[in-house]
Structure 1
């Protein structure tokens, strides 16, 4: 474990020794407090006993699939989980996000991008992870309570990941405006890497599944091909 002036603890779950070394060295060089494990069972036990503030999780573990690890941890914890995986198919990303992951970083990745993701989650933790503006946004069946940090459709509360909620708030606060891919990724992740623009497409797909009556024919979130997205006022 490494010491950090901040009390936040990062749990790194990676069985590939070189990749684990790359991640932990980057964290150590920037004075983050962390623990590293190499199996799913150890990760679940560690998450339960040490209550980390952020988990960085590989999906291809030797004893169980990372999706199962996410599901087990999600049965009792809402700790942010960043998946770091060589699986690049959208279906794999969507499966991880649907299981409860909050972010997805594909291998190979740059250390700068990795640290940018960590900084983004640290900022959200310091800010309390929610919006403070005392307003409510209503648009057709959609209702977003910024103060409560919650959203609902037709009165039914939505179960959104932190990134999905942040995307929804960004679109709601700019309803009627076309937001470019670069603008959105910069607001969500703090940078605009090509991999983040690819991830944005996946997060929009999972968000639409939760808020659109028919995700294959969206009415709330419109795609402007090659440009970005816009929330339509109903």
Structure 2
């Protein structure tokens, strides 16, 4: 496994590196202390996961995350001393997969990393399973290809996992807590912000008007459902 840490505090870099070394002895940990250098490192090394600090000396972590998503769907965990809801939601909206606040324990960090890596492994289905089609949306489960109006849509692993679970239960309202547990894990069942942000991101990518949704339909206070194929 290869990890990129973008963090300007050498003590934090050392602590995070040690966490990975203890859990995965063969891990390769690379680091950058500025955002631009970190972006170059990600492009060059294609890591399995990125640990990204928000407070960097050149460009902030939000901008780094936004730029990462222009060329990669690598899992990103944002690391910050801030504990404000706005920062958390902003990071998720820009494509981060998770968020952890300093100070943190190695147990908490590893739990978050393992959860993100689990989600980054797309569901494996039988090749002969029929594609799912509803309206302008088509999902090919065998190839994990998603198209809208014939054009391919690039989804992150977590976005695909959420869409996949909704599609496998199309026509059924899935409660918020069930979606959070199935896609993110049992530690996230109360993290409704994650679900809300990812639903917004999916709707945007699927060109599904949130004010008149034809694909991902909200049941206020209950959950979400994907329209059933005809």
TM-score (norm 1): 0.78
| Whole-Å separation in 1 of the counterparts to 2:165 and 2:124 | 11
**Displacement of 1:59:** 2.6
**SS of 1:105's equivalent?**
strand
Q: How does 1:1-234 map to 2 (within 5 A)?
A: 8-16=1-9, 19-31=12-24, 33=27, 34-85=29-80, 86=82, 88-89=85-86, 92-93=90-91, 95-97=93-95, 101=96, 103-108=97-102, 111-123=106-118, 129=122, 131-133=124-126, 134-193=129-188, 196-233=191-228
* Alignment gaps of 5+ in structure 1: 1-7
**Displacement of 1:94:** 5.2
Q: More displaced, 113-122 or 156-165?
A: 113-122
| Whole-Å separation in 2 of the counterparts to 1:194 and 1:111 | 22
Q: More displaced, 174-183 or 160-169?
A: 174-183
**SS of 2:85's equivalent?**
coil
1:88-114 residue CA offsets vs partner (Å, 9 max, x unmatched): 3276235422xxx4x131425665453
Q: More displaced, 46-55 or 106-115?
A: 106-115
Change (3 A) 1:16 1:198: farther
**Displacement of 1:160:** 1.7
| Whole-Å separation in 2 of the counterparts to 1:19 and 1:13 | 10
Change (3 A) 1:218 1:76: closer
| Whole-Å separation in 1 of the counterparts to 2:228 and 2:141 | 18
| Whole-Å separation in 2 of the counterparts to 1:60 and 1:212 | 33
* Alignment gaps of 5+ in structure 2: none
What is the number of equivalent residue pairs in this alignment? 221
**Displacement of 1:143:** 1.0
**Displacement of 1:38:** 2.2
- Kept after mapping to 1: 8 A contact 2:174/2:223: yes
